[in-house]
Structure 1
Amino acid sequence: MIETWQIVLAGATLSGYLLALLHDDNQESMFLLGLLGALCLETTLWKSLALGPWYEAVSRALLLACERMVRWCRNETVPNDGLLRYLGFFNAERIVLTSPEALHEVLVTQNYSFPKPASLRETAGRFLGIGLILSEGDAHKLQRRSMNPAFAPRNIKALYPLFWDKTREMIEKITADRAETVEVVEWASRTTLDLIGVAGLGKDFGAIKEEDNKLVKTYNVVFQPSARARMLHLIESLVPAWVLTALPIKLNLDMSHAARSIRETCREIISSKQKKLKEKKLDDMDIISAAIRTGTFTEDGLIDQAMTLLAAGHDTTGAAFTWGIYLLAKHPEVQDRLRHEIRQRLPPLTQANESPISSINIDSMPYLQAVCSEILRFYAPVPQTLREAAHDTTILNQFIPKGTRIVIAPWATNRCTKLWGADAQSLNPDRWLYESTHGGAERSEGVYWTGVCEGRVGVLVGGVGWKF
C-alpha cells in the first residue's frame, strides 16, 4: 500500500530536481515536467486517467521528428554539409548527422570517442546487465572479440533450419486458427521470441504454441512493456535513472521482479550448458553455446549476453518482419515477383520433413535477399539512436564539446537522396541487384541492418511467401 507521504515526497523530489534545471522558458522541459506529473498521478492516485492518449501523442511526436529529420537530410528545409545543430530538453546541445562522411567518423574512425549516453546504459543496464550492446571502450573490445566467433557467417547460417522450423510452426498455427484477419504485430512478437530462444539460447520458449505461458508473460513485462512502461523508458532517457527508479510505483517493482526471473532462467540454461561442456557433450549450435566455448566469459557475463540477445534480437527482427509484410501488401508487384522466386527455390511447407532447407536455399534467392535489404533500409528496426562525445573532439573538422549528444537517425539517412539517389523515397529492391553491395549507397555505416537480423527476416518472409 502506497502512503500519501510517499507520493508527496516523490513528487516533491522530482519537481525540485527538474525545476532546478529550468533556467528559462524551455517549452520542451515544461512538457517533460508535465509528463512526469501525469505519470505520477496516473500510477498512484487517478486510476481512471488513461495514459493511452499521452503515449499516442508522444509516439506521433517522435514520428514527426523522424519525418522532419528526413527533410533535413534531403536538404529540403535546412541546407547543411553533414551536421545540423538544434537544442533538446533543457537546451541541451544536439547534433544530427546527415552525411555518410559524418556517419563514418562517428561510427567507424572515432567510434570509441562517441559512446552511448551514460543515462541510456544505466537505464537499460538495470535489466540487461552490461552486454555487447551497452559496453564501451576496452570492455566492448574484449566482448566483441569474444563474441565474434558466435556471429561468424557459417554459425549464423547453420541456424537457418531452426528459423525455418519456427516459421512453419507459425504458419501452421495461423492457418489452424482460421481467423478472418491476422494480427501481424502479435505473431511477429511471438515468433521472433521463439526464434531468439532457439537460436540464441538453445531454448524453445513455446510462444507460438502457448500465448499465455508464464515465461512469455514474464518476458513481455521487460521486453514488450505496456504503454505506461514505454512512457517511463522515454522519460528515463531524459533524466537520471535514479529519479524514476525511486518512485514508489508498482510498475518499477513488476519490471525488476520480471528481469530477475528472466535472468534466473538464463542462469539455469547457461549452467546446464557449462555442465555439458565439462562433460565434453556440448554440441549445441546456438549463440550462447558458442560464447561458452570461448571460455572468456564469467557466468554473469554470459547472462548479460543472453539478456542482450533477448532484448536486441527480438525487437529488431519483429519490427523488420512487421514492416516487411506492410510493404509487400502495399507493393503487389514486388510481392508477386518474390512469391514466384520463393516457390521456385523452396520446398513446399508440407514437405519440410522430407526436404529440410539450409542456407544454400536462402542464398540461392537473390530477389529475397534484395527485398530484405530494402525493407531494412526503408524502415530501419531502430529509427533513431544516440551517442555522446566522451571528450572535446571534432566531426568533419567542426568542434564538438564533451557531453554533446549525437543523433543518428537511420529512418532519415536511409532515405537521403545524397546517399541513395533520386529514388531514395521509393521501395526498390532492384537497387541491391544491380548496384554495388551497398545498394548503391556510398557507404554502409549506420545505413541499414544486416547479418543475423537480415537472415531471420529472410527465412520468415520466405515461409510467408510460400503460404500466402
Structure 2
Amino acid sequence: MLSDPINLASLFVLGSIGWLTYKILIWPFFVSPLRKIPGPPPDSLIYGNVKALLSGEADGFVEPQFKWYKKYGNIVKYYGIFNKPAVFVADPKIIQEITLSKSYDFIKPYSNNKPAIALLGKGLVFAEGDVHKRQRKMMNPAFSHSNIKGMVPDFIRVTNTLIDLIKKELSQGNSNVNLTPYISKTTLDIIGLVGFSYEFNSLTSPNELAVAYDGVFNTTPDMLHATIIMLSSYISFVRHIPFGVNLRYKEACDVIHRESQKLIDAKYKEAESGDLKSKDLLSLLINNNKTLPEEEKLTYDELRNQIMTFLVAGHETTSVTTSWALYLLAHHPHYQDLLREELVKAYPDKSKFNPTYDEIHSLEFLNCVLKETLRIATPAIQKSAEIWGPTAEEFDPSRWLDPALMKKINNYNYLPFLNGARGCIGNKVASAEAKIMLAMLIMNFVFKPIEGFQIRRRAFPTPKVDPYLGLDVSIVKS
C-alpha cells in the first residue's frame, strides 16, 4: 500500500526532472524554430543572458544588445529565464513589417503577463487586436494638438516648484544633488494633473498613491526581485507567494486600485450630472465616450485601466528621458552651453519664461538635444554606424543639423516612440513636457559630473540611471 504513493512521488520527481531537462537543455538548442539564428550562448542554465541585460553599462551607452548586433548581425537570438529563446531585431525592413504592415500579427510578449495585467489592466499598452484598435481610435481625439497645447501651463507650474526645491537644497550648501527623486516626482505630478486633474503634490508632500506607485515602479530590483518579475510571466502564482517583496507589491497594488477606483468614480459622477468640464485626458475620454455608438465605447474597466496607462507611460518615460538628457549635458558642457545660449537669447528674463507649445518646439538646438538623447539612450539600430556615421556611439546633438544625415533618417531607423498602430499615442505630450523641463533646468542651473561618482545605465525594467542621477549643481549667474 505504501509503495503506491512512493512510486507516484518518484514518477512525479522523475517527470519534473525530465520536463526541466527538455525545457532548459533540449528544446532551446535542438527543437526551437529559433535554434539556427546566431547569437550569444547562454551565461547560465537558469538565467540565460538575463544577467548581462540586468547588469547595466558602465561604458557609456553600449548595451549588450548593441554588442550582439555588431557581432552577430541584424537578427540576434538570446536566452531568457530557463533558456527560453528570444529574438532581438535591428533590421529596418523587418522593423517596418513588425511595426507598420503587420503590427497586429506580432503579439507583445508581456500581453499575457497576468500579474502585470492584474495591476495595469488591459489598457492601451496591453490590449491587442480589435480591442487595441477600438481603444486607440477612441483615444486619439484626446491627444489632439489643441488639447496638448493646453497642458503647457501645468508643465511650467510644476517645473517651477522643482526649480525652487533645487535652489533650496543649494542654499543649504548641498551642491552634489540626487536629482532622481526630484525629476521622478515632477513628472508624476504633471501626469496627475494633465492625465486626470489629480494633485499628487509629491514634490512637496507625502501622498499615498504616489508612495504606492513609487514602490511598484521606482524601486531598483535586485536579482531576486528581477527574477520574480520575470518568472511571474511564466508562472503567475510566483507573485502570490507571501514574503517581503511580494507583500509590499500587493499592498502597493491595493492602494493603486483603490485610489484609481475613486478617481474614475468621481469623474463618472461629474459626467452623469453634466459637470465634467475638465480638459484632462481622462475627462476628455469619458466625455468623448458618451457620444460614441455602443460598439465603439470603452467599458468602465477599460477607462479605469487608462489611468494606469497614463501613469506608467506618461510618467516613467519622460522621467527617464529627462534624466539622461541632464546626464549627457553634464558630461558635454559645450552642448550644455550652446543650449543655454539659445534659451537665454529667446528668453532673456528667465523669471518670465512662459512659452506656448509652438514656441517651445521652435527652439532648434533644444529639439536637437532631445532627439539625440532619445537616439542614444535606446538600443541598437539607433547607434548603427551605417546610418549615423563614425560617431554613432557618441552624444552629438549637432548631428541633427546636418542635411545629408537627415535624408537617411526615417521611421524605421529612428523610432524612439515606435511607429504605426502601436506607436506611442502620447509622444507629443512627452516631447513638450521634456523640453519644458530641460529648458527651465538649463536656464537656472549648471550641471557637472560629481568627481569619482560613477553612473550606470540599468536595463531592466526600464533604462534608468543607476544608482541615481547625482550631479554637481550650481546656479546660473545672470
The aligned runs of 1:201-280 (5 Å cut-off) are: 201-210=196-205, 212-228=206-222, 230-236=225-231, 239-242=234-237, 244-280=238-274
CA contact (8 A) 2:45 2:82 kept: no
The aligned residue for residue 385 of structure 1 is none
Q: 1:420 aligns with which of 388, 395, 403?
A: 388
Q: 1:59 aligns with which of 47, 54, 61?
A: 54
CA distance in 1, matches of 2:43, 2:229: 13
The aligned residue for residue 466 of structure 1 is 443
The aligned residue for residue 333 of structure 2 is 332
User: Is 1:186 aligned with 2:181?
Assistant: yes
CA contact (8 A) 1:28 1:89 kept: no
User: Is 1:151 aligned with 2:143?
Assistant: yes
The aligned residue for residue 30 of structure 1 is 45
CA distance in 1, matches of 2:145, 2:240: 44
The aligned residue for residue 276 of structure 2 is 282
CA distance in 1, matches of 2:388, 2:14: 46
CA contact (8 A) 1:374 1:429 kept: yes
Cα deviation, residue 348, structure 1: 3.7
The aligned residue for residue 41 of structure 1 is none
The aligned runs of 1:392-411 (5 Å cut-off) are: 411=379
Cα deviation, residue 151, structure 1: 1.7
Higher mean alpha-carbon deviation, 157-166 vs 19-28, is at: 19-28
CA distance in 2, matches of 1:172, 1:280: 38
CA contact (8 A) 2:123 2:306 kept: yes
CA distance in 1, matches of 2:115, 2:58: 23
CA distance in 1, matches of 2:67, 2:236: 33
CA distance in 2, matches of 1:435, 1:18: 60
CA distance in 2, matches of 1:124, 1:15: 33
CA contact (8 A) 2:376 2:395 kept: yes
Cα deviation, residue 233, structure 1: 4.9
SS of equivalent to 1:430? helix
SS of equivalent to 1:466? helix
CA contact (8 A) 1:194 1:207 kept: yes
CA distance in 1, matches of 2:91, 2:184: 33
The aligned runs of 1:10-409 (5 Å cut-off) are: 20-23=19-22, 30-32=45-47, 59-60=54-55, 67-73=63-69, 76-78=70-72, 80=73, 82-117=74-109, 121-178=113-170, 179-210=174-205, 212-228=206-222, 230-236=225-231, 239-242=234-237, 244-295=238-289, 296-346=297-347, 348-351=349-352, 356-380=354-378
From the superposition, tell whether residues 183 and 276 of structure 1 become closer, same or farther in structure 2 (CA, over 3 Å): same
The aligned residue for residue 387 of structure 1 is none
CA contact (8 A) 1:28 1:90 kept: no
CA contact (8 A) 1:362 1:458 kept: yes
From the superposition, tell whether residues 237 and 313 of structure 1 become closer, same or farther in structure 2 (CA, over 3 Å): farther
Unaligned runs of 5+ in 2: 1-11, 27-41, 290-296, 418-426, 446-478
From the superposition, tell whether residues 280 and 375 of structure 1 become closer, same or farther in structure 2 (CA, over 3 Å): same
How many residue pairs align between the two structures?
A: 396
CA distance in 2, matches of 1:216, 1:15: 48
The aligned residue for residue 463 of structure 2 is none
CA distance in 1, matches of 2:221, 2:198: 28
Cα deviation, residue 188, structure 1: 1.3
CA distance in 2, matches of 1:347, 1:273: 42
CA contact (8 A) 2:81 2:231 kept: no
Cα deviation, residue 87, structure 1: 4.5
Cα deviation, residue 457, structure 1: 0.9
CA contact (8 A) 1:168 1:349 kept: no
TM-score after normalising by structure 2: 0.74
TM-score after normalising by structure 1: 0.76
SS of equivalent to 2:123? coil
CA distance in 2, matches of 1:198, 1:162: 7
- Structural RMSD (CA): 3.1
CA distance in 2, matches of 1:293, 1:90: 47
1:355-395 deviations in Å (ceiling 9; x for gaps): x3321320221211121111111113xxxxxxxxxxxxxxx
CA distance in 2, matches of 1:290, 1:333: 43
Cα deviation, residue 350, structure 1: 2.9
Cα deviation, residue 159, structure 1: 0.7
CA distance in 1, matches of 2:13, 2:58: 28
1:21-77 deviations in Å (ceiling 9; x for gaps): 2336586563449x9xxxxxxxxxxxxxxxxxxx9x87316889963321343xx42
CA contact (8 A) 2:388 2:405 kept: no
CA distance in 2, matches of 1:239, 1:197: 32
CA distance in 2, matches of 1:245, 1:458: 38
CA contact (8 A) 2:93 2:412 kept: no
CA contact (8 A) 1:263 1:307 kept: no
CA contact (8 A) 2:62 2:393 kept: no
CA distance in 1, matches of 2:212, 2:163: 25
From the superposition, tell whether residues 173 and 331 of structure 1 become closer, same or farther in structure 2 (CA, over 3 Å): same
CA contact (8 A) 1:119 1:240 kept: no
- Partner AA of 2:199 in structure 1: D
Cα deviation, residue 437, structure 1: 10
SS of equivalent to 1:131? coil
